[in-house]
Amino acid sequence: MSAATWWALLPVAVVVLGFALRQHPARVVLVAALSAGLVGGMGVVGLLETLGSGFLSVRYLLLIVLALPVIAQVEAHGLRALARRLVGSWRGARPGRLLLGYLALRQGSSALGLTSLGGHPQMVRPLVAPMAEAAAEQEPGGADASERERTRALAAATDNVGLFFGEDLFLAFGAVLLMQAFFAERGVELAPLEIALWGLPTALLAFLIHGVRLLWRDRQRGRA
């Protein structure tokens, strides 16, 4: 590999180092972007133009912010307490079992193209995470602050796994069409159905691995 190739990896190193040092994500991304522009020889104006056009072209991603006032309103009137109460009335509730059910729902609905049926702002934060926390508190020994944080993280990870590996099974999903177009450009003709079908083993394995991880967590906590 030439020296130029190694320099091109500088932004990746910045990202890895920044997160390893637990720096604020905005700082890490900013420094990585600046280093990428530097090693790419873009110049100041070129870098600014790239940043500006990049942001403006994906502004629509921030539309999910519109859900936040709704969540804030219902949370301020007791949604999280309600979620805890609902789980509290379920004897034998465990975070792993609860999240396993959510994983099945999330992955199944994503495979059908219903990716909006869930998500961190509208489902995990107001409902799934408080329910999982309440279930963790019911376990023998209860849940201290660090265990609650871990449970929240597990709830967020469950949503990620379900969505990421579920949506690849949907024929009309953008990534499937992107893969099809990528291979077609290189002379490999693939039908979206084939791509989706070959995503099935990965999706099943992801479900099994994360499901085992969830149940293993319950078991470990039960023993402790």
Partner 1 sequence: MTLMPLYVLLGSYFALISWRAAHDRLRPAAAARSAFFGILALLFLIGDLLPLPLAGMLVLALAVIAGWGLPQQTAAPTSPQEQHGSARLLLPVLAIPLLTIVLTLSLPHFTLAGVAFTKQSAALYGLACACVIALALALAITRNEPAVARWPAVAICWSRSVGPCCCHCCWRFSGRCLRKRAWAMRWRRRSVC
In this structure, the number of other CB atoms found within 10 A of the CB of residue 84 comes to: 17
| Closest separation in Å from C-beta 32 to partner 1 | 10
CA atoms of 82 and 136, how far apart (whole Å): 16
Nearest to 154 by CA among 115, 103, 205: 103
CA atoms of 164 and 69, how far apart (whole Å): 26
Based on the shown chain and the rule CB under 8 A, indicate whether residue 160 belongs to the binding site for partner 1.
no
With CB under 8 A as the contact rule, the residue among 8, 15, 39, 67 that binds partner 1 is 67
Residues 200-219 that bind partner 1 (CB under 8 A): none
Based on the shown chain and the rule CB under 8 A, indicate whether residue 181 belongs to the binding site for partner 1.
no
Based on the shown chain and the rule CB under 8 A, indicate whether residue 101 belongs to the binding site for partner 1.
no
CA atoms of 100 and 211, how far apart (whole Å): 6
Confirm if 133 and 99 have CB atoms less than 8 A apart. Answer: no
CA atoms of 177 and 183, how far apart (whole Å): 10
Segment interacting with partner 1, rule: CB under 8 A, options 5-13, 29-37, 192-200, 204-212: 29-37
Per DSSP, 66 falls in state G
With CB under 8 A as the contact rule, the residue among 8, 15, 38, 117 that binds partner 1 is 117
Based on the shown chain and the rule CB under 8 A, indicate whether residue 106 belongs to the binding site for partner 1.
no
| Closest separation in Å from C-beta 28 to partner 1 | 8
Segment interacting with partner 1, rule: CB under 8 A, options 5-13, 68-76, 163-171, 191-199: 68-76
Per DSSP, 117 falls in state S
With CB under 8 A as the contact rule, the residue among 10, 50, 104, 150 that binds partner 1 is 50
Based on the shown chain and the rule CB under 8 A, indicate whether residue 141 belongs to the binding site for partner 1.
no
Residue 28 parent element (H or E): helix 25-39
CA atoms of 141 and 144, how far apart (whole Å): 9
> 151: Cβ–Cβ under 8 A, 6 or more apart, which residues?
95, 129, 132, 133, 136, 143
With CB under 8 A as the contact rule, the residue among 20, 21, 59, 185 that binds partner 1 is 59
Based on the shown chain and the rule CB under 8 A, indicate whether residue 71 belongs to the binding site for partner 1.
yes
Based on the shown chain and the rule CB under 8 A, indicate whether residue 76 belongs to the binding site for partner 1.
yes
Nearest to 138 by CA among 128, 148, 146: 148
| Closest separation in Å from C-beta 19 to partner 1 | 13
**Where does this chain bind partner 1 (CB under 8 A)?**
24, 26-27, 29-30, 33, 45, 47-56, 59-60, 62-82, 85, 114, 116-119, 122-123, 126-127, 172
